[in-house]
Structure 1
């Protein structure tokens, strides 16, 4: 078994069994090829060779090192499962202590200001303003990723059921609930939308759907008009706000995982840290003893 055969078979498994997206597969390929350049044949590498990657990758950011080591651990687990190796040398890999940064957050007041501005601008049924309101409702009200939102086809909008059919990472589909507010905004948008293709949010400057970059620009422009620092606002920040505010309201973590389309509950658990950080800040700011300490 050559390294090329092993890597290709491993990537094929990720695509077939785990539904890994093209970008994910490309990243795994780069990481494995980079490791091979550093230590040679990965299929037959021993513990000492893998341990030497700590020095070879010493200049990498902790998050990059963690990603590369994760790719190698999964690769060697695959080799053992397939019977191509009897041992797993991956415990010798360097172990970065990378803390995942907490997501940026918007307060309830800031979210309310965004919606107040969007609703005020959409009052006159200007198509661009109504579209912005519908986009905002789905970002904060349903927690969609930017790519999921802009690529929604018209067929994703149900006639009578309060759900959207969303295609997420790795081509995985899930049903996302749509609030009554969002349904009203979507209904208004559909009556004003020009008949341009199959996209729910068609581009006004080219064929196809609205781009992620354009969505980002529209959202930041709305934030500026609402008196909010545009640097604080992005589609992903609104997705974080959706998750955090639901958790504050008592949502179950497993339910939140399903709504967000996370394959691993560990990804969703970051929101427990966000909520904990908020509670600590609240105690520090409001508890009587905190005033005595200052």
Structure 2
């Protein structure tokens, strides 16, 4: 059976996502993907066949497998909300790769060069922000939980997706945060804010980090906030060798997700093969 969708259905779905306490970025992303589907559909009735055709269209357009699956997940979520579960389509199967792409693997020495570049440019806030993300493993959307109160208590309580987790803050980081806050006259609440007191947006942080690439001699493909979280994961695991603990710190519900963060570029694997001496 095929169905007709009205604009108010999409607005109702938006309200549903908000009521389910999805993050702002998630809501915007889902709505963007759903609207992309309906623009492509050009007023045609929605059914299993049309959804499958959109899946094929995305593949033919050259979208990556992960992008196609994320867009299909948004559509399936909307179809389920409407009660049209029989119209949902299967995601593309992904064969897991054991290695991380070289051009996206941020090394600790490159992270240090980024900090020095930020320092030379007089970007104290950006330097401290990068240290905070890389020193705690928080998501860029969780920066708002780094408050004066959290720095004083040496821990931050993060609320996301209906879950609460506690992040311990290193003493040295707390000292830097409190000194910075005091200098700017921030006595309570969020530390990383604009002059008007608003939290820093994901896009702003991303853009500011990109501006460091040339001066730091680091490939732009490696420089974005989430890669600092990946670097934290690698360094934490190198010290602890406890992937379960790491999953808790990162807020992952599955250790399989954490494994992705620990992928290397294959260079170490290649060294092991050479050391085997069987060729």
Alpha carbons 1:156, 1:165 under 8 Å: kept: no
Residue 237 in 1 paired to residue 231 in 2?
no
In structure 2, relative to structure 1, the CA distance for the partners of 1:41 and 1:22 (3 Å cut) is farther
SS in 2 for 1:176: strand
Matches within 5 A, 1:87-236: 88-91=86-89, 95=92, 97=94, 102=100, 104-111=104-111, 117=116, 131=125, 133-149=127-143, 151-152=144-145, 154-159=147-152, 161-166=153-158, 168=160, 174-195=165-186, 198-203=189-194, 208-210=198-200, 212=202, 215-216=205-206, 219=209, 228-229=217-218, 231=220, 232-236=222-226
In 2: Cα distance, 1:147 partner to 1:177 partner = 17
Instruction: Give the one of 55, 60, 63 matched to 1:61.
Output: 63
Matches within 5 A, 1:35-54: 35-36=37-38, 38=41, 40-42=44-46, 45=47, 47-54=48-55
Distance 1:96 1:68, change over 3 A: farther
Partner of 2:27: 25
Q: CA RMSD in A?
A: 4.2
User: Aligned with 1:15: secondary structure?
Assistant: helix
Whole-angstrom CA distance in 2 between matches of 1:251 and 1:14: 37
Q: 1:202 to 1:271 in 2, by over 3 A?
A: closer
Structure 2 distance, partners of 1:208, 1:285, is: 48
> How many residues are paired up?
267
Measure how far apart 1:35 and its partner are: 3.5
Task: Give how far 1:212 is off.
Answer: 4.8
Determine the C-alpha separation between the residues in 2 that align with 1:51 and 1:25: 23
Q: 1:196, 1:202 within 8 Å by CA — same for their partners in 2? A: no
Partner of 1:257: 247
Tell me the alpha carbon deviations over residues 72-116 of structure 1, each in whole angstroms, 9 at most, x when there is no partner: 33334445xxxx45x62424x57365879947233344445666x
Tell me: higher relative CO, structure 1 or 2? Use CA pairs within 8 A at least 6 residues apart.
Answer: 2
SS in 1 for 2:237: helix
Query: Where in structure 1 are there 5+ consecutive unaligned residues?
Result: 123-127
CA 1:263–1:20: 2 relative to 1, 3 Å = farther
Q: Which has the larger radius of gyration?
A: 1
- The one of 248, 265, 270 equivalent to 1:284 is 270
